[in-house]
Amino acid sequence: MTYESATARAETQAETYASHVATLTKKYEQILAAGQSVLIHSGSEQHYFGDDRGIVFQAFGHFAHWLPVNRPDHFVLVKAGDKPRYFQVVPQDFWYDQSLQIDTDLEPAIHEAFDVVRLSSIDGIAKQTDLTACDYLGPDPAWAAAQGIAQAKINAPALLAPLDFARAVKTEYEIDQLRLANQQGLVGHAAAAECFLGGGSEFEIHNAFLQACSLLEYETPYTNIVGLDTNAAVLHYQHKSRARVPNAQLLLIDAGSRVNGYGSDITRTTPSQHCHPVMDSLITGMVALELEIVASVKPGVAYPSLHDQAIAGVASLLVEHGIAKVAKSELIERRLAHAFMPHGVGHLLGIQVHDVGGHQRNASGGRVEPPAHSPALRTTRMLSEDMVFTVEPGLYFIPMLLDPLRTGDAREALHWPLIDELIPSGGIRIEDNIRVTATGAENLTRR
């Protein structure tokens, strides 16, 4: 036992990657019928309509699950009993640098784990393998059909459903990448908070984050959300205003970093000395709530119960701070608390920031709908060991959602003068990335 755990700690990234590929190979072998093989395509380069300018490439998730290489027209061929084959299409090109070393430092490990075949054109694949015998998984069904692959074998649900479902549970290698992506992201968040407290604009804060994480904008796992004051109440606020805001009250920044294709997804809300004291206290309360929810995480818990805990916590804070004039239970039953937290408490996380399979019933497919009171909840899964997801309760003052309550039945339930004082403070979200352990949770964002 001691020997094993010491060995595990000593394993290099290359070793955990090798074991990740071995685990994935086994998973595919369970899913594939005898003699069946599947070709997984990273994707094709896309262009803006009527333009020769390419759209930033993002490899298909089930390809990225095998390889930390973000290139178009790369393929993995999996057949039970064989070493997986990796077809790298690297064109002869003097316009772009086509060398692959820049993507990852795992290149030697990739050569160990795969039978690597270098090709100068996608047409070379048909010469290497009988494509008509393969299943195809990927974003270019027209290409697959043109290779003679039958429609029934292109993105077959019988393959995709078990693969999507399995993505929620991470290998040791994947968890390590997510830990690193969190460490990097936190460096960015510290720089962002410092820039904000020094009077920086959204634009300056955004750049401070990227600089500290050593990321180009297109390398982030999703578009940074950087909102000062009322912009913090726009859930996916997309602009980065160049204007400095004198005496800004708070910064909400939702931003992550990425390591070998795995992204972190972290949100922090930082008050300044100008923050309304009630909002300042709500921020402290939301941090405590977020950590309480994380403390409830363990195998066998249904993810929607974490969401219910978040809504209940928001309701408590509304009562404690005199924003609500009715009991917590009434805020929940009448769905008034939901107007202050109109999103779900989180989502699966991994190769995709909203990772696949969040609503899937089981490995065969099916769907578990979110509860009617919270249709935006992105995960309805049962928690199991080594699942990774976010926990991100929020509390916002969104005029569009509050205005109907102001004039309706709820007008007596809420303290409108205080709400009007708090609308200029925007909103709060606190988000960490969580791994389920055998008995509880590992908070990847607070280690």
Footprint of Mn ion on this chain (CB under 5 A)? 265, 390
Closest contact distance (angstroms) between CB of 93 and Mn ion is 37
The answer to whether the beta carbons of residues 219 and 263 sit under 8 Å apart is: no
Contact present, 60 and 138 (Cβ < 8 Å): yes
Shortest spacing between CB 392 and Mn ion, in angstroms: 5
**Residue among 265 and 290 whose Cβ is closer to Mn ion:** 265
Q: Are 292 and 219 in contact (CB under 8 A)?
A: no
Whichever of 103 and 265 has its CB closer to Mn ion, that residue is 265
Please state at what angle helix 13-31 crosses helix 157-167, rounded to 10 degrees: 140
Name the residue nearer to Mn ion (CB basis): 31 or 345: 345
Q: Closest distance between Mn ion and the C-beta of residue 40, in Å? A: 26
Of 27 and 378, nearer to Mn ion (C-beta) is 378
Query: Is-contact 197 377, C-beta < 8 A?
Result: no
Give me the least distance between CB of 376 and Mn ion, in Å please: 12
> How far apart are CB 56 and Mn ion at their closest, in Å?
20
87-114 b/e (C-beta count within 10 Å ≥ 16 → b): bbbeeeeeeeeeeeeebbebeebbeebb
Beta bridge partners, 119, equal: 89
Tell me the angle at which helices 172-197 and 13-31 cross, rounded to the nearest 10 degrees: 120
User: Is residue 278 a contact partner of residue 422, using CB atoms and an 8 Å limit?
Assistant: yes
What distance in Å separates the CA atoms of residue 311 and residue 400, rounded to the nearest whole number? 19
Cβ atoms of 387 and 355 closer than 8 Å: no
What minimum distance in Å lies between the beta carbon of 254 and Mn ion? Answer: 7
Q: Please say whether the beta carbons of 278 and 319 come within 8 A.
A: no
Chain residue whose CB lies nearest Mn ion: 265
Closest to Mn ion by CB, 334 vs 354, is: 354
CA–CA distance, 271 with 373 (Å, rounded to integer): 30
Of 174 and 265, which CB lies nearer to Mn ion in the complex structure? 265
Least Å distance, CB 187 to Mn ion, is: 19
Least CB distance to Mn ion at residue 349 (A): 7
Separation in Å, CA 437 to CA 17, 66, 118, 172, 175 = 20, 23, 40, 12, 11
Nearer to Mn ion, 229 or 392 (CB): 392
Identify which of residues 425 and 433 has a Cβ nearer to Mn ion in the complex: 433
The two structure tokens encoding residue 142:
């027209």
